[in-house]
Structure formats: structure tokens, C-alpha cells
Amino acid sequence: MYEFLQFQNVLYLSMFKKIVTLLLILIIVGIISACSGSEGNNAGYYLVDPRFSDLYERLQGEETLGPPISNKKYLAGTNQEKQYFDGVVMIYDPDHSPRYYLDPVGIEAGFSDLPNQEPENPGVRYLNGYVVPVEFSHFFDQMGGDRWVGLPLTRARLNPDKGRVEQYFENMGFFRFEDDPPGTVHLMPYGLWKCAGECSQYPGVQNAGISSSTAEEVKSPFGEAIARFGTSFTGDTISSAYHAEDGSIEQIFKNIVLFQDPASPMGVSLRPVSSLLDQIDQNYQTRQEGVEDYFREIENGNGYYIPTYFMEFIDRYFGFEISGEPITPLEEIRVGVSQQCFENYCLLFDAAADEGQQVRILPQGQKYKEEFYRDAGKPKNETPVVRNIQMDIWEQMPQISSNEKQQIGACIHENGTPLSNVQVEIIVKTEGLGSSTFYFDPTDSGGCAFLELEPIQAANGTTVDYQVCFQGLGDQEFCKKDSYLIWGNTDNDLTSLPAEVAVEETVLEPEVILDIWELYPQLSSSEVQEIGACAHLDNQPQQDLNTQLFLETPQDGVISYQSSLTDQGGCAFFSLDPVNAKNGETIPYQVCFTNQYGENFCERDSFLIWGNP
């Protein structure tokens, strides 16, 4: 019996040791899990305190505010309680009214802007001196207005680095990505920013601040070269200056690519764009008796003939040092249009153009950019120059019937200053009906422009998407999207709904080729400028198009010119009055072709004022 009891005690002791060991293991695992959870688990690690649960749900809970990122905290020396969430900070103060409120993180962060000019359109939401875009305005109301969101502290801003529009309010910050569906708005991480000191263990807090680029901005050294060549030769810039693979500073233009070259007398040379884009034709020509064109020998008596009209262009722009050697013979690329390529650029001859306007440079910059400009348009060492542009667009009526006209407003500011005389384009796309392009009058002194759209014949519930683009602001495109709804139609309102096929039948397609050029890349303020413009589709000239030119002058604002309809070669020509401007000033212009359906197709270029006494 004694031996049995002794065996039983040993058994119990063994079991007890195993249980204790198991408990210790569980405790250690729990501690490790808790520690790792504080570093890697961002949802569910903290619970919404009962004190704030009702308000949390009222403000759309985790879907909008994000998860809690702290326990409830007590403010020393007061009766206040607070809890941090991803998007807001909630505070309870039993000693004051209102007892519940949101911490004004935006004010503490110092967000501010110069105020917007009060819009003329009473349908635009205007609070605390700032325009609130339509999407943000709807979300502002959903979140309880200024009671919970607070008043706006800034304009609606485009953040090009993140591809989104942002606006900061006292208690919340709003943003939406450019490709978000209508009605989608997100909250800035106000709670993360404010909690960074107290919630440092929370994942992502270290990245909660407002990011800024520390990369070096590359200054363009090509100003003198552009002045000597003229923008008719270079074309508009389509990249900022950046460090190329060989370490030199390079910049891409519509027609050519410049790089810094200490060995060149100008300190600048042209990249061999045509050669790099494989335009080379090794089928050399040989000198022939009786041929009057200039023969350029390349090697061993072989080379290429160059017609007189191209030689005149090459000589005007500093000879073969700039053009490079010819790499192809003259060839006809379409009826009446011939092309010959040199190492650094290609030339076109259009027989249908007027004399003096027949030769122009072929734009190859965009193709070079697509093939050689690293990281989908951003060199590894380049930080794009980001302009502080604020854009506001809105429709007068978020819902409208098919017998009502819609008014669209658009405003643009840079660093708080309105930009006047900016060309504005709108593309309107309706479900099932295709898209149409329209143009506003240039922006007024307040940086705003307005356009009235004709009624759209569409069924109730149809979404009308539109995109407004502000043009002529350098190599960056500044566009913004919004939408409104067709609603309220009766049986009598919806008439003559066009068939989809009918809408798609247009004279010009978006792939239309537009060529514009000026007679003088640079001229004085006493000389008359001549502008040529041609439109082709599938190598066929587009005849009988209305053609209009908008000239942007520094003294007289935007001046418009109307040409006769395009001729059999698809071309139209303008004679411009002398421009009152100083030496070195660039004069941008835009030529727009309009087809019989009212669709517009436009191209921009510029010339330089030089030679004034």
C-alpha cells in the first residue's frame, strides 16, 4: 500500500511539473506575440474604447476613420480623455461643452494657404475663404460639416508625387486619387501625425509625416542655346534638365535633345537622336554627273545628296556641326511630303505649303523620351520640378435633366496667385455616347473660366464624366476630373438620343497628325510673323476645316486670328501683326482645327522676340 501511495505522489509531482512548464511556455509565447503585435499588427491590436464607440460609428467607423492606434489616454491635470485613430483624434471633456470634439490637428500642424477668390458661381462651395471641390463638399456634409471636420485651412491641392488631390481642414484632411470613382474620398492620417510621439510603436507612424523630396534639382544650362536656336527649332520642352547616363546634363525638347558639352564652342551639343532611333540607312549614294543637289561624302566617295531647300535650313542653323552627317537619302513618306534624316534631327519638306514654310523639323523628342528616358519618364537622379498649382473645377448642378444646360467652372492658381490667359480644354465623356472636346475662353484675371454645355440626351442615371486640362504651362500637364448625373427626365425630356455609331463617326480621329510652324523662329517687334498649320489623317490632308490661332502676348493678352478653311493640302496660313515684346521673350501660340461636328484638335508652339534695337 505504501509503495502504491509513493508511486501516486511521484506521478502527481511529475504531472505538476509538466503543467507548470506548459504554463510558462504559454506565458512566454504570449509575451512574444504581444511584443510582435505592437510592431506588426495595425488593426485589432487596440480596441475602440466604450467612451468613444458611439462617436466612432457615427463617423463611419474603421472604413473611414481607420483603426484605433492607441488605448484611451488621460490628459494629466485635467478630466479629459482621448483616443487616437488613424484619421482623427477624439477627445472627451466632461467639464466643458461640447463634451466630445476632435483635436484640431490641422491647426497645430500649421496648414495654411492664401485664400481663393470668392467664386462668381453661387453653386460653388466656399468656406473660410476657400473653394471646396464638389467631391470634398459632399464628403464634408457626410462627415458632419464643420462640427466634426472643421473649417478648410487650405485650397484643394494637386500632389503630383502621389497622384492625388488634397485639402486640409481643422480636424480632418481629405484626399482622393485622380482615378478614384466618383464619390470616393479618403482621410489624411491626422491621428498618426499627432500620435507619432506617443504611439511610436505603432507601425507606419514613422512615415506619417508629410513627405518632401530632398533630391537635388538640376538647373538647365540651355537658356542661351534656346535663344540662339529659337523654339521653332527646338520645340517645347518635354522634360526638365537631368543627369544623363554619361554624367552630363541633358534636356529633351519636342524636336531635339540637348546636352552639356564642354568641347563644343557653344558649350552645348545635340544628341544623335535620329541615329539612336535607328533611322540610319546604309544604302549610300554615289556622286552622279549633272546632279545639281549638294553631295555630302561620308566615306570612300559614298554619301548622300541633300536638296537645296534642306541645305538652306542646315546653313541657317549653324551647319553640319548641329545637324550631324546625313544618314538617309531623301525619300517621299506620303504624297507631296519628303523626309531626310541627319544624325541629330530629321527634316520634312511639304510641297503643298507656301514658299518659305515648306521645310520643318520632324518632332522626335517624345519617341526618344519613351525609349531612353529612364524609369518611365523619370531619370534615376532627377527630381521633376513640381509647380505649386492649385486647380478647382465644378459643375453648377450635380444632377441635371436632358433639357437643361450645364455650366462648368474651372480656376487655376500658382502659389496662391491666379493665372490669367491660360487656355482650358474639357473632354466630356458620356456613358454609351463617346466623348467630345470643348474649349473655354482663356482664364480671366481671377484665374477662372466658365463654359456652358448643351443638354446631353441620355437616360436617367447616366454618368457624365469630364476632365478639365489647363494648357501651356510647360512640360507638365495639369488636369482634373469630375462627373455629374443625368436625372429628372420625363418621357418628354429625352429626345433624339443619338446612336452610338453616329457619335463615333467623325472626320478626324484622335490620331490625326497636326503640323504647325512659323516662318521666323525669332524676329523683332517690328516684323510680321507668318504661321502655317496642316492636318492629316491616315496620310490624307483634311480639307475644309475651320482654323483658328490664339497668340499669347505679354502686353496685349491673348489675340485670336481666324484663317480661311484648310486647302486641298490640309493646310491654312496666318499673318500675325508685330508683337509688342522685349528681346528674349517667348511668344506661345496655339492653332486649333474644328471639324463639321464641332470637335477641336489643337497644337502649340512658340517663337522668340529678338533683334529689337
Q: What is the mean predicted confidence (pLDDT) over 534-563?
A: 86
Give the pLDDT confidence score for residue 41 in this predicted structure: 38
Question: Of the candidates 597, 515, 511, 507, which has an alpha carbon nearest to the alpha carbon of residue 543?
Answer: 507
Residue 32: in which H helix or E strand, if any? helix 2-40
> How does pLDDT run across 9-57, given as a tens digit for each residue?
544 555 555 544 444 444 433 433 333 333 333 444 689 999 999 999 9
Cα–Cα separations (whole angstroms), residue 421 to 82, 376, 443, 444, 578:
50, 32, 5, 6, 19
Total residues found in the chain within this entry:
613
Question: Cell triple for residue 261?
Answer: 558639352
Give the pLDDT confidence score for residue 161 in this predicted structure: 64
Min mean pLDDT across 103-107, 179-183, 243-247, 594-598 is at 594-598
Min mean pLDDT across 161-175, 274-288, 452-466, 471-485 is at 471-485
Q: Note if the bond before 115 is cis, omega within 30 degrees.
A: no
Q: Above pLDDT 70, what percent of the chain?
A: 82
Residue that has been written with the C-alpha cell 485651412 in this structure: 153
> How does pLDDT run across 439-451, given as a tens digit for each residue?
888 888 878 888 8
Give the pLDDT confidence score for residue 36 in this predicted structure: 34
Hey, which of 3-12, 306-315, 501-510 has the most confident mean pLDDT? 306-315
Largest CA distance in the chain: 134
Give the pLDDT confidence score for residue 84 in this predicted structure: 92
pLDDT of residue 150 exceeding 60, the answer is yes
- The DSSP result for 532-566, as a single string, is EEEEEETTEE--S-EEEEEEEETTTEEEEEEPPPP
Q: Above pLDDT 90, what percent of the chain?
A: 23
Give the pLDDT confidence score for residue 504 in this predicted structure: 37
Cβ atoms within 10 Å, residue 292: 7
Distance CA 261, CA 48 (A): 63
The domains of the chain, with CATH numbers, are 50-207 (no CATH), 223-377 (no CATH), 389-504 (2.60.40.10), 513-609 (2.60.40.1930)
- The DSSP result for 158-209, as a single string, is EETTTTEEEEEBSS-EEEEETTSPTT--EE--HHHHHHTTT-TTSTTGGG-S
Distance CA 557, CA 229 (A): 25
pLDDT of residue 106 exceeding 80, the answer is yes
> How does pLDDT run across 269-295, given as a tens digit for each residue?
999 999 888 878 778 999 888 888 999
Which residue spans within 8-99 are E strands per DSSP? 73-74, 81-84, 89-92
Min mean pLDDT across 195-199, 223-227, 294-298 is at 195-199
Question: Cell triple for residue 441?
Answer: 475662353
Distance CA 296, CA 301 (A): 9
Is 202 or 66 the better-scoring residue by pLDDT?
Answer: 66
